[in-house]
Amino acid sequence: MQDAITQLLDEVRARAGRLATRDDAEDFRIQYLARKGRIATLFEDMKALPPAERPVAGKLLNALRVEAEGIHAAAVASIGIAGAAHAAHLDLTLPGRAMPVGHQHIVTKTIDEIKTIFKAMGFSVATGPEIETDWYNFQALNFPPDHPARDMQDTFFIDDMRLLRTHTTPVQIRVMEQRTPPIRIIMPGRVFRNEVISARSHVQFHQVDGLFCDAHVTFADLKGTLVAFAKRYYGSALKYRFRPSFFPFTEPSAEMDITCYLCAGKGCRVCKQSGWLEILGCGMVDPNVFRAVGYDPDAVSGYAFGIGIERTAMLRHGVDDIRLLFENDLRVNRQFI
Ligand code: DAH
């Protein structure tokens, strides 16, 4: 038995230097180390020895197995990648698999672009909750209970106290409550309305509100800032106009139009033949809003504005159905990298 072990040990050592490929190493493993390999067979044979001889044989056999395992492990490690290349099924000259790279959604990108333009003009960013109370969404913004202006914004109510905000304008109230003028902020966020989903309207969309309040703020300040924004965002060649409008929280109120990007003012399908596109609502903060946050309307004045993000992105990129911005169809999203 001892002779057989010594012989096998010599054989194993002799093969150690000849394990050049993965196949060699695998052969070696099958022949010597596998469950039915030659070392295992010797362990089986050992059971037939007289009990007194078994410990010595067992020790030698264990030493043989440890050495063979070491030789095999060292061979596998040194063959490494070179060995893998040797295997017929592996072609290391194939190009790698590219990982798909993500990018921002057009809505996020539009918000970021608007933020960048206003930040350059000294505005900072403020945010507020999507679940609001009637006070912040309506009353503090000069929509008294039962006022018909509430119908302008079909609301999702959660219960008597809470609702999903219909605009980002309540953030103006939250910030003014916390701080004293001068305040120069923009407020991006998601808003919700109980509307029938169609190409033109959706139950959720995004807005960016803006607010500047200080002593002696005038409508000329509002115009200067919003014209600067529109020229940066839509191009410096545009023509614009301010039209009188109505919002409960501003007096006077206006809407800003720019010449249609498609027909340059001649009249087409997109601008409904008018040559103009509405891009935002704005106005001078109503004294009642200042009163609601404890400011003195004789000492503080301000302007505010609100921009619809989806509308802005659609105008700028010629998208004619708002639903495309929420369906996350990659064939659409990939066009806005
Ligand atoms: N909150 C208005 C809306 O959702 C948009 C708006 C208009 C916001 C004028 C303003 C503003 O801050 O001054 O229709």
Residues 62, 110: one domain?
no
Indicate the top mutation candidate among 152, 226, 249, 256 to test ligand 1's pocket, ranked by most ligand atoms within 8 A of CB. 249
In a domain, 302, yes or no: yes
Number of domains in the chain: 2
C-alpha–C-alpha distance, residues 306 and 315, integer Å? 16
What pLDDT was estimated at residue 84? 55
Cβ atoms of 229 and 118 within 8 Å: the answer is yes
Residue whose pair of structure tokens reads 């159905």 in the numeric block: 321
In a domain, 180, yes or no: yes
C-alpha–C-alpha distance, residues 210 and 307, integer Å? 8
Residue whose pair of structure tokens reads 């704005």 in the numeric block: 282
Residues 138, 283: one domain?
yes
Please identify, by atom number, the ligand 1 atom nearest to the C-alpha of residue 304.
13
Cβ atoms of 245 and 149 within 8 Å: the answer is no
Residues 243, 313: one domain?
yes
Residues 201, 82: one domain?
no
In a domain, 230, yes or no: yes
Q: Which of 56, 87, 118 is the last residue of a domain?
A: 87
Residues 165, 283: one domain?
yes
In a domain, 24, yes or no: yes
What pLDDT was estimated at residue 39? 93
In a domain, 94, yes or no: no
- Residue from 38, 49, 36 nearest 10 by CA: 38
- Cα 89 versus chain centre, distance: 40
What pLDDT was estimated at residue 124? 97
105: which 2 tokens? 């959604």
Residues 129, 24: one domain?
no
Indicate the top mutation candidate among 118, 169, 245 to test ligand 1's pocket, ranked by most ligand atoms within 8 A of CB. 169
Residues 72, 156: one domain?
no
In a domain, 15, yes or no: yes
Q: Which of 55, 87, 119 is the last residue of a domain?
A: 87
- The pTM for the full model equals 0.72
In a domain, 99, yes or no: no
What pLDDT was estimated at residue 146? 83
254: which 2 tokens? 């206006």
Element (H, E) at 312: helix 309-317
Residues 83, 111: one domain?
no
CATH code for the domain in which residue 167 is found: 3.30.930.10
Indicate the top mutation candidate among 209, 226, 278 to test ligand 1's pocket, ranked by most ligand atoms within 8 A of CB. 209
Please identify, by atom number, the ligand 1 atom nearest to the C-alpha of residue 167.
4
Cβ atoms of 46 and 82 within 8 Å: the answer is no
C-alpha–C-alpha distance, residues 297 and 295, integer Å? 6
The alpha carbon of 248 and the centre of ligand 1 are apart by a number of angstroms equal to 9
Cβ atoms of 256 and 242 within 8 Å: the answer is yes
Supply the range of the domain harboring residue 111: 106-336
Q: Which of 38, 59, 87 is the last residue of a domain?
A: 87
What stretches of 47-188 show up as alpha helix (H) in DSSP?
54-86, 106-120, 134-137, 170-178
Terminal-to-terminal C-alpha distance of the chain: 75
Full pLDDT tens readout for the chain, 337 residues: 888 899 999 999 998 888 888 888 889 999 999 999 999 999 999 989 999 989 999 999 999 999 999 999 888 888 875 555 556 677 788 888 888 888 899 999 999 999 999 999 999 999 999 999 999 999 999 998 888 777 777 899 999 889 999 999 999 999 999 999 999 999 999 999 999 998 888 999 999 999 999 999 999 999 999 999 999 998 888 899 999 999 999 999 999 999 887 788 888 877 888 989 899 999 999 999 999 999 999 999 999 999 999 989 988 888 888 999 999 898 988 888 7
Residues for the chain: how many in total? 337
Which residues are within 8 A (CB) of 18 and not within 5 positions of it... i.e. 6 or more apart?
Answer: 24
What pLDDT was estimated at residue 81? 56
What pLDDT was estimated at residue 224? 97
Residues 15, 134: one domain?
no
Cβ atoms of 239 and 229 within 8 Å: the answer is no
Residues 317, 203: one domain?
yes
Main-chain dihedrals φ then ψ at residue 330, nearest 5 degrees: -60, -25
C-alpha–C-alpha distance, residues 258 and 2, integer Å? 99
Cβ atoms of 233 and 316 within 8 Å: the answer is yes
- Residue from 174, 85, 86 nearest 137 by CA: 174
Residues 171, 31: one domain?
no
Question: Can you state the percent helix, strand and coil of the chain, rounding each to 5?
Answer: 45, 20, 35
- Residue from 101, 178, 83, 102 nearest 136 by CA: 178
